[in-house]
Structure 1
Amino acid sequence: MSFYEKAANSHPSLQRGMVWCAVCGRSQRTDAAGSLQHGWPKCCGFTMTIDSPEEREAYAKARGE
Structure 2
Amino acid sequence: MMCQGLHDRLAASHAKLMRGLVWCRSCGRSTRVDPAGALRHGWPRCCDATMTIDAPDERGTPS
- The normalised TM-score by structure 2 is 0.91
Alignment of 1:16-55 (within 5 A): 16-55=19-58
In the TM superposition, structure 1's runs of 4+ consecutive aligned residues that sit over 3 Å from their partners are: none
Equivalences, count? 60
User: Over aligned residues, Cα RMSD in angstroms?
Assistant: 1.0
The answer for unaligned runs of 5 or more in structure 2 is none
Cα deviation, residue 2, structure 1: 0.7
The answer for unaligned runs of 5 or more in structure 1 is none
Q: Would you tell me which structure has more helix in proportion to its own residues?
A: 1
- The normalised TM-score by structure 1 is 0.88
